[in-house]
Amino acid sequence: MDWITAALSLCGYLITLALIPSILLKKNRHPISTVSWILTIILLPGLGGITYLFFGINRVQRRSLSKEKANQSLAPKLPQIVQNQLLSSEDYLPLNQNLMRLAQNIGHTVPTFGNHVELLTDTNRTLGLIKQAILNAEHSLHLEYYIWQPDQSGTLLRDLLIEKARAGVEVRFLYDGLGSFGLGKHFFKPMREAGIQIAPFLPGASIRERWSINLRNHRKIVIVDGKMAFTGGMNIGDEYLGLNQDLGFWRDTHLKIEGPETLQLQQVFAEDWFFATGEALTQQKYYPHPDPTGTITAQTLLSGPEKNADVFLTLMFAAINEARHSIVLTTSYFVPPESLTTALESAARRGVHVRLLLSSKSANPATVHAGRSYYDSLLDADVEIFEYTKGILHSKTLTIDDSWSLVGTPNFDFRSLILNFEVGLALYDRKFAQRLRESIEQDFLTAIKITHTDWDKRSKPTILLQNLCRLFAPVM
């Protein structure tokens, strides 16, 4: 029997190795991702092959192509969104002009002027404002979330949606099938009975969709009557309010938007809803005339595997290279492509003050170890690295020269920048950028600065663990 077992094991291993050519033949696969998958297959015989079959084969591309076809099918049916006149080009700094033009060319969205954008850094206040907006809704509520927990916070907000649906407000609820895996029939039953329309963006566990498990919708969007919107890093659940004792305080950044840019976010929801359900939200009532409510120029940006360009990766790379004075980055997952670390190091070496605020702990510790493997070269280039210690840092922001900002759902990692469906707002406004930077200055006070002297004292097992985790960064 021993020789039979050995023979079967050998056959299984050889079959697994036969997957390597399929990896090498994949068009436009990132080289680091290619190497990571090959190492996974070689070092984890059997398990590595199964993992690749579920996560690596580009069935993602097939699914993303259907998403792009859905977007193209819906586009001609959507009402023409009225755009408020932008200021003249002379009113924007060269930095903002360049990034605005790039974002428009790669993201295919246009900037709008006349927005009021409120920066939200307290998760309890953020949830309170979302609740108040829902209470004030008159005809429609559209919600799209990566994670919605069926705990006390999630249930209370659900019950508020039920109340509004019973009062005659149209409510649509779009959730990610994997991120919100805990939601089930019991949670949805009273919602359906109240008339709320519910759909998974992609199911998380169905047999039919088992190959789409690697394709996730990481967006968080709330749109109220087509006039007010919320987006940013915060999901719905007790832990995001700091109520989980194991995780502790939760630091996140969210936005409340009023003005013409709200309609861009409404269109994002409409595209995702159409993909998930086939229902086209084309009625004019969902796209009211966007009266100016402020003075901020903003631009909604989307990324996903159906896009021809890695939108956030390209924009972040360009923004970092455009910087002349300062760069402040916050992210919960720091496992960046080499192009971005090189850009950060180059900026620091040409005299730009580069500061990174990163999380010191995570629900996925391997990502923290992988992120730390990048510290050596960054510190060599005089990039300042801080690790947040007050609790969980979940904020995703980038500020350049106190003039340009990016706030949204994408982390500074492979999955967000290359694979996930993400959304964010580019804000071309000096006052907003300064407010964002000032809020982060408070976070630096509760963070530990990583110095080269202390970093060089790491043990060899620690260095080994960090570098090993880095090898698998693209598949985390």
Please tell me which residue in 67, 164, 176, 225 is annotated as part of the active site: 225
Is residue 291 annotated as a catalytic residue, yes or no?
A: no
Round to whole Å and give the CA distance between 315 and 94.
15
- The strand ranges marked E within 39-169 are 112-120, 140-145
Q: Out of 67, 220, 307, 369, which one is annotated catalytic?
A: 220
Catalytic residue among 401, 413, 429, 443: 401
User: Residue 171 and residue 151: Cα distance in Å, rounded?
Assistant: 20
Catalytically annotated residue among 256, 369, 396, 443: 396
CA distance 259 to 351: 38
Using a 10 angstrom Cβ sphere, with 0-12 exposed, 13-18 middle and 19 or more buried, the burial of residue 67 is: buried
Distance (Å, whole) CA 158 – CA 150: 9
Rounded CA-CA distance 356/362 in Å is 17
Contact 249, 394 (CB under 8 A): no
Give the E-state strand segments of 340-446 in sequence order. 353-359, 384-388, 391-393, 397-400, 404-408, 412-413, 422-428
To the query of whether residue 220 is one of the catalytic residues in this protein, the response is: yes
Task: Give CA–CA dist 70/199, Å, rounded.
Answer: 16
> DSSP character for 236?
B
Active site residue 443: no
Q: Which of 394, 402, 413, 429 is catalytic?
A: 394
Phi/psi-derived region of residue 228, left when phi > 0, alpha when psi is between -120 and 50, beta in every other case: beta
Residue 283, C-beta contacts closer than 8 angstroms, at least 6 positions apart: none
DSSP SS3 for 119: strand
Question: Would residue 449 show up in a list of annotated catalytic residues for this protein?
Answer: no
Catalytic residue, candidates 67, 142, 164, 218: 218
Residue 394: active-site member: yes
Is 429 catalytic? The answer is no
| Catalytic residue set | 218, 220, 225, 394, 396, 401
